[in-house]
Amino acid sequence: MYQIDRHFIIDVTGGSCKNFSTAAGPEQCFLLSSKNTHSMLRAMSSLVWIELDSEAPDHNVRELKACAGDGVQFCAVVKSNAYGHGTAQMVKLLPSPDWFAVNSLEEGLKLRELGVQKPVLLLGHVPLSRLREAVESDLRLTVYNRETIDALANLHHEKPARVHLKVETGTGRQGILVEEIGSFVEGIMRAEGVELEGLSTHFANIEDTLNHEYSEHQLSIFHRALQILDSMKLTPPVVHTACTAASILFPQTHFNMLRAGIGIYGLWPSRETFISAKMGAGSVPDLRPVLTWKTKIAQIKVLHEGSYIGYGCTYRATRRTTMAVLPIGYADGYDRNLGNNAYVLVHGKRAPVLGRVCMNLTMIDVTDIEGVSLENEVVLLGTWGRETISAETMAGWAGTINYEIVTRINPFLERRIL
């Protein structure tokens, strides 16, 4: 085990990184996104909840911004319920970004409802039948379909439709191939009321590797697209390609706006990004995890040696076991793969998960932890004293990535700002 800093503990056994962890922060008041969800949240709030460190989000934005030069704008990606952290709460905790980006029209409209007046970019597809709503609310559209441009031209709306053309540089998902950029842009120029505001792309392989040749290849294709626009005497005001990893590792991807998500939540995109940053010449941002996930003990009992625990009888007690039942399950986003494969923190000590994670319940072993009683707090994800369960650690247990761990936390759980 090799402790790099307070964020990361890397197990380099056998030459490969096996595990890493980050620290999380604490908190205290409490915000609700809408009247409708109020009663639902109250119903669920007292047993399982999320705590958000009020200072961490903007601190993280400042750290990421410091990777870029003056004049580079910052777009905070708050899609998918702000990566599970809660859209209303995160928008409140993020005064400094110049832009916000979300995936869907609904998410964009929600930001407007919350009073966000800054530019909002929609990254995903907007149904042709709903483009008018997007333009009405001045939501910027990512475009890569001729049908979208034609439909925007046919709106004859008094407000301009501001679009960001996405270039397919090798991620193999949304975007216009570079050989089709010229004719696509001509279509935009012909479309009345449609303004080309931005040019963007997204990197495919920047987080998963220490070898960044493929990203460099994508960047060279993006430069070709810029040259094509240049030859048409067009300079889109906003040019953006950099996700968190690119923001940290590659100044040449910054252009005039960063478009970062995971880093603002204080999480690193991957251990490879962290190692690349540590090995590079630049400064390494101090990212502070924003979220702590907690619950309370719902029952404590002593089981005889040999007792089975949970569905499928996958765990059998090898000693007299003091077991605690937690009112948390895969319906809350606590991954089923954590069964027999994780621990939580009780009184700052590790308590292993026993048996399978159920839909609404999870059992833990508190035999070796003194003074545990009913309704004591339990940290599922976060820090308690000297122990931390990071999103990365949990992702390792569940066989996924930190992005998925936080994004899948049930949106109806209460998010408290401390």
Ligand X SMILES: Cc1ncc(COP(=O)(O)O)c(C=O)c1O
Residues that bind ligand X (CB under 6 A): 77, 123, 202, 243-245, 259-263, 269
User: Which segments within 279-403 are labelled E, that is strand?
Assistant: 291-296, 299-303, 308-309, 315-316, 321-326, 343-346, 349-354, 362-365, 377-384, 387-389
Token pair for 151: 């439909």
Q: Which residues are CB-contacts of 299 (< 8 A; sequence separation ≥ 6)? A: 324, 325, 374
Q: How far is the CB of 144 from ligand X (least distance, A)?
A: 12
Based on CB atoms, which residue is closest to ligand X, 108 or 269?
269
Q: How far is CA 341 from CA 2, 100, 363, 394, 395, in A?
A: 22, 37, 12, 10, 11
DSSP states of 105-126: HHHHHHHHHTT--S-EEE-S--
Based on CB atoms, which residue is closest to ligand X, 263 or 382?
263
Using alpha carbons, select from 60, 74, 67, 117 the residue that is nearest to residue 238.
Answer: 74
* Count of C-beta atoms within a 10 Å radius of residue 155: 18
* Count of C-beta atoms within a 10 Å radius of residue 179: 9
Q: Which residues are CB-contacts of 70 (< 8 A; sequence separation ≥ 6)? A: none
The answer for 266, left when phi > 0, alpha when psi is -120 to 50, beta otherwise, is left
Examine the residue annotation and report whether 311 is marked as an active-site residue of this protein: yes
Q: How far is the CB of 228 from ligand X (least distance, A)?
A: 21
Q: Which amino acid is at 52?
A: L
Q: How far is the CB of 109 from ligand X (least distance, A)?
A: 19
Catalytic residue among 79, 110, 166, 294: 79
DSSP 316: E
Q: How far is the CB of 205 from ligand X (least distance, A)?
A: 12
Using alpha carbons, select from 215, 161, 159, 157 the residue that is nearest to residue 188.
Answer: 161
- As a residue count, the chain comes to 418
Based on CB atoms, which residue is closest to ligand X, 80 or 393?
80
Using alpha carbons, select from 24, 26, 23 the residue that is nearest to residue 416.
Answer: 26
Based on CB atoms, which residue is closest to ligand X, 289 or 355?
289
Residue number, nearest CB to ligand X = 261
Examine the residue annotation and report whether 79 is marked as an active-site residue of this protein: yes
Phi, then psi, of 51 in degrees rounded to 5: -110, 135
Q: How far is the CB of 261 from ligand X (least distance, A)?
A: 3
Distance CA 180, CA 167 (A): 10
Based on CB atoms, which residue is closest to ligand X, 9 or 401?
401
Based on CB atoms, which residue is closest to ligand X, 198 or 329?
198
Q: How far is the CB of 202 from ligand X (least distance, A)?
A: 4
Q: How far is the CB of 123 from ligand X (least distance, A)?
A: 5
Upper half-sphere CA count for residue 333 (Cβ side, 13 Å): 27
Q: Specify which residues 365 forms β-bridges with.
A: 323
Based on CB atoms, which residue is closest to ligand X, 200 or 362?
200
Based on CB atoms, which residue is closest to ligand X, 261 or 355?
261
Distance CA 353, CA 217 (A): 45
Q: How far is the CB of 106 from ligand X (least distance, A)?
A: 17
Q: Which amino acid is at 366?
A: V
Catalytic residue among 2, 18, 301, 311: 311
Residues known to be catalytic:
79, 311
